[in-house]
Copies of this chain bind each other. A is one copy, B any other.
């Protein structure tokens, strides 16, 4: 992770605007991020009374997947009545007791999201809600539709109007324009779109759950009494007390209605290709993906690093929060003690006033600090999850040096990040990806490290799979190896549609 620059992800004017529905294409923020960001998390409940309460806690558990807006739509199965509420802000800011009381029903679809550049728009907050021929339609998505621009163009040329810049709106149009019954229309629509996505689609009488044909974005199913719970990560199932049942399979379409659950497919499973960055950085360490616990996987990445490239040093430290597990693994493997060389201030958040340039030069450091007593006079191994532009890594290395570290060795728990993502990760242009432009030695110089090592592709796969040997490839590692599981248009917009 490139955590230090996340300092910059606070835009001070933002909170003011957040209370409304604001749209100004000119506010770009790409340039101040040096951080990969998961774009969304989804959560759904079918057939559990007071579903919105579960939604509240479930979305809260997925908050790390999207801090900028939150929303829920509920349906009362007895009446088919829709209710919804969404807003900019954290789950706990968007919902309060009074709001939850306005969301009756035993079905819910919920969503948390980051906004992409220029679009801190309430209108884009999900679930998106539509009125169409057959009634109400709610959609919550995690991921990105690669061919959305061309479908959108086609729809516009046929007279469609769009109220959001979200590609998710495309799927609603495709369904509404079909002459078939709802489920068939949805299958047709899912077949037309290409990309990586997890969909929750709710109508007055049905809930549809779908994962893209490669399973790029995680999506799991749990049971709760007679009901079902769906979530981007298992941690949300644990939080609400649901029992994990299985991961939703690539190309699957689950249909839930008064007759219960029916498992269908809109596409045969091709190659499974779960996003590698979910294992490395995005998902919470207490979540499991495809049955693999992420804290354990990350510890194995740290151990694997030690096996591939041991270096003698006094202490091992991890960049918080994402690289703590890996750092502990490295320490366990090598016997070099794990120490708290870097610490994050947990109170920093959206409304925090960032230090001025002058104060920064004076040494005012907020989110992340190096602990002098721990690192002074020490040779430090610093474990991090990835390097995007390199600016954040440089900043952290320098923090450690200013605090007295005599050597700083940077060990990265993933291969070099060279290629942009088209499936829902907010990545900069290829030319800004330092690993795409420079050799490892050049990067080492750029980040002022004494040594730099990236985990090998094979070592990474081995570490994710763990010692049970059962895990074969099954990952999208296009950002490392340029092998995209779907056709992509290099000229198209990257990032996500949710």
Residues of A within 8 A of B (CB): 12-13, 16-17, 19-27, 53-54, 56-57, 60-61, 63-64, 71, 81-87, 90-100, 102-104, 122-123, 125, 128-133, 137, 156-163, 165, 172-173, 176-178, 224, 235, 238-242, 284-286, 288, 293, 295-296, 299, 321, 324-325, 328, 331-332, 337-340, 343, 345-349, 351-353, 355-356, 359, 362-366, 369, 371-374
Complex CA–CA separation, A123 to B178 (angstroms) = 25
Residue ID in chain B nearest A351 by CB atoms:
B92
Pick 29 A–B contacts, CB within 8 A, sort by A. A16-B98, A16-B99, A21-B85, A21-B87, A22-B85, A23-B84, A24-B83, A24-B84, A25-B81, A57-B355, A64-B347, A92-B347, A95-B353, A100-B353, A122-B122, A129-B163, A131-B162, A132-B159, A132-B160, A159-B178, A163-B163, A238-B365, A238-B372, A240-B362, A240-B364, A295-B339, A295-B373, A296-B339, A325-B340
CB-defined contacts of A374 to chain B, threshold 8 Å: 286, 293, 295-296
Residue ID in chain B nearest A160 by CB atoms:
B176
Q: How many subunits of this chain does the assembly comprise?
A: 4
CB <8 Å contact, A156 and B129: no
Complex CA–CA separation, A460 to B165 (angstroms) = 51
Contacts A20-B99, A60-B347, A99-B16: A82 and B285 contacting too (C-beta < 8 A)?
A: no
Q: Which of B83, B161, B295 contacts A371 (CB 8 A)?
A: B295
CB-defined contacts of A339 to chain B, threshold 8 Å: 295-296, 299
CB-defined contacts of A103 to chain B, threshold 8 Å: 24
CB-defined contacts of A99 to chain B, threshold 8 Å: 16-17, 20, 22
Residue ID in chain B nearest A90 by CB atoms:
B347
A338 CB to closest chain B CB (Å) equals: 6
CB <8 Å contact, A353 and B56: yes
CB-defined contacts of A359 to chain B, threshold 8 Å: 53, 57
Complex CA–CA separation, A104 to B24 (angstroms) = 9
The CB with the most chain B CB atoms within 10 A, among A94, A96, A100, is that of A96
Complex CA–CA separation, A285 to B356 (angstroms) = 27
